[in-house]
Amino acid sequence: MADAAAHLVRGGNHLRVSPCSRAGGVVDETETLRDFEAYVAVAWPRLLRSAWLLTGDWHRAEDLLQTVLARVYGRWPRVRNGVPDAYVRAMLATTYLNWWRRRWRAEVPTERVPDRSGADPHADAGVRNVVRAALRGLPHQQRAVIMLRYHADLTEAATARTLGISVGTVKSYTARALAALRADPTLQALLTEEANR
Amino acid sequence: MSHDRVAHLLEQAIPGIPEELRRPPLAKLRARARRRRTRRNAAAAAVVTLVLAGPALWYTSTLDGPQRTAPAGPGGPAAAVNTGLTWWMARVDRAGTQVTLFVSRPVDGPACQGSWSPEATFATDAATVIVTVSDGSVTGVGCASDNKLATVQITLPEPLARRPLIDGYDDTRRPVYREADQPQVPGGSAGWSEVPTTFSAPRPVNAELPAVWNVSYTRPGGPDIKIRGYPADHLLAAVPKTEPVGTVEVAGTRGGIYPTGLDRYLVRWEAPGVVYNLTVLPTEGAYVSLPTFRELLARIGVS
């Protein structure tokens, strides 16, 4: 390695990257990949759940998350120094809205494939189904706002910055989405029942 | 409703993650990231080339007398990768010049953006024909709305004959189902009519590649005739394990008649790169004995 570098210098081409620094680059790249994959291995289930909140379908959620993570990989050295989960969830929301505008609106599903869920023995089926139904009824922007505010735990200002809308719009979307949840009579009954337990 | 209460409700609403999605698809992610980087680099290179070559091209075009025309032929593999379309198999008409391609986006292609308008270009030489499909829509990366393979037709200046057809997307030979290798099923009032077949596009979750050919002919009162074609290396292209009960000639090739169950027979024959099976489907409750099967074969020129 040292010989090769010396040869380059002797050749007088000081602008070329020496083999030493190129090897260093390879090591960095491998480390970045390893670090990124270690993060994905741990964060995958929670990020996939966030994606499901947007899409309401596991396979679309997986597709959405894969697309976002492939983009995040290129920015990983910068992203890992911040709060990666928040960053990925913000990208999930913006990519989801872009897809909805450009891709899913053009696709006409011929048949609805039921979501096959894994075992979920501890979940409260009543609340789960009602909230799920209420989520399905929300417009896409409101779903994105709800996911960012309550699942990614972003502030109103951060949600507004992420989606490129005003804080007032975030407040209004949040209020409307919550009103839709509250308005559901089954959910209301279930919540009252739970509160009285 | 408090912030925590809403967060809790949302958590409750999310179903359990299906078993097959619990582990991150790291290999797929790596491949996607790599493709993304390649595309970005290619785009950057194209911009640099345009910036550097643009003025020169403009200069030479203003000097030339005769009008320049764009080169004919395919965009080549790189162009196809950019437009993200591939084709899986081809049907060639009896004359050998009309080629129907069955097209979709590749399984791991870029994200779909709107509707599409698939089109094809080709380049021929004495040994091969390379066909490249691309999307002529505004976005250039559209897709079908019904998840079916689209058909695109090209007309070759001379018959394909035994030349292989190559997909410019990945420079790979695709199965070619030539009508000339199949029996000519008579049409008209006493004959059969072809039942149009639609083929499903491959999905990432069901990545069986659509390379198996299927054509059926029907007539009132039956029986129907079904021809299936397989790439020669397909599992179902293997010779049946039962002993043949006779031989026939199909479109100039020797084929065998094999029993496949009680009063069921198939004819199997081979053509370059592909294997065909022909079966007949009697009306419900009826059966086809070997003499009847042979008689029927004779009506479509197989004897």
Helix (H) or strand (E) holding B224: strand B224-231
**Mean pLDDT on A102-116:** 41
Whether chain A has a CB inside 8 Å of the CB on B205: the answer is yes
In DSSP terms, B166 is beta-bridged to B130, B173
Chain B nearest CA to A2, separation (Å) = 31
**Mean pLDDT on A8-32:** 40
Model pLDDT, residue B220: 87
Contacts of A168 (CB under 8 A, 6+ apart): none
CB B17 within 8 A of CB A48: yes
- Closest chain B residue to the Cα of A111, Cα to Cα: B146
Chain A nearest CA to B216, separation (Å) = 24
How many CB atoms are located within 10 Å of the residue B17 CB?
Answer: 20
A to B CB pairs, distance under 8 Å:
122
- Least reliable range by pLDDT among A26-30, A31-35, A141-145, B120-124: A26-30
Contacts of B101 (CB under 8 A, 6+ apart): B87, B89, B90, B120, B131, B133, B151, B152, B153, B154
Give chain A positions within 8 Å (CB) of B3: 150
Longest CA–CA span in chain A (Å) reads 84
Nearest CB among B13, B25, B114 relative to A131 is that of B13
Model pLDDT, residue B142: 79
| Measured distance CA(B140)–CA(B219) in Å, rounded | 42
Model pLDDT, residue B70: 32
> Based on C-alpha coordinates, what's the Rg of chain A?
23
Q: Which residue has the higher pLDDT, A104 or A141?
A: A141
CB contact residues (below 8 A), chain A span 110-139, against chain B: 110, 115-120, 123-124, 127-128, 131-132, 135
Model pLDDT, residue A117: 43
**Mean pLDDT on A42-66:** 91
Chain A nearest CA to B116, separation (Å) = 10
Tell me the pairing of strands B86-92 and B224-231: unpaired
| Measured distance CA(A25)–CA(A30) in Å, rounded | 9
Contact (CB<8Å) A127/B33? no
Chain B nearest CA to A91, separation (Å) = 15
Chain A nearest CA to B15, separation (Å) = 6
Determine which of B29, B30, B104, B117 to mutate to test the interface with A (most A C-beta atoms within 10 Å): B29
Q: Which residue has the higher pLDDT, B64 or A152?
A: A152
| Measured distance CA(B213)–CA(B182) in Å, rounded | 12
| Residue A135 pLDDT > 90 | no
Which of A34, A24, A74 shows the shortest CA–CA distance to B34? A74
Helix (H) or strand (E) holding B134: strand B129-135
Contact (CB<8Å) B204/A71? no
Which of B123, B32, B16, B4 shows the shortest CA–CA distance to B75? B123
Contact (CB<8Å) B15/A128? yes
Model pLDDT, residue B125: 84
CB contact residues (below 8 A), chain B span 165-204, against chain A: 204
Contact (CB<8Å) B33/A70? yes
Report the Cα–Cα distance between both ends of chain B, in Å, rounded.
80
Chain A nearest CA to B225, separation (Å) = 29
- Closest chain B residue to the Cα of A48, Cα to Cα: B17
| Measured distance CA(B258)–CA(B226) in Å, rounded | 15
In DSSP terms, A115 is beta-bridged to none
CA distances (Å), origin A119, targets A122, B9, B15, B150: 9, 19, 9, 39
Determine which of B3, B6, B138 to mutate to test the interface with A (most A C-beta atoms within 10 Å): B6
Helix (H) or strand (E) holding B123: strand B118-124
| Residue B36, helix vs strand vs coil | helix
Query: According to DSSP H, which parts of chain B are helical?
Result: 3-13, 26-63, 76-83, 290-299
Nearest CB among A118, A135, A153 relative to B17 is that of A118
Model pLDDT, residue A19: 33
CA atoms within 13 A on the CB side of A11: 12
Contacts of B163 (CB under 8 A, 6+ apart): B124, B126, B127, B128, B129
| Measured distance CA(A101)–CA(B109) in Å, rounded | 19
Give the position of tokens 């894969």.
A66
Give the position of tokens 């019904």.
B146
CB contact residues (below 8 A), chain A span 40-79, against chain B: 40-41, 44-45, 48-49, 52-53, 58-59, 62-63, 66-67, 69-71, 73-74
Chain A nearest CA to B49, separation (Å) = 22
Q: Which residue ranges of chain B lie beneath pLDDT 70?
A: 1, 39-84, 204-208, 262, 285
| Measured distance CA(B106)–CA(B289) in Å, rounded | 44
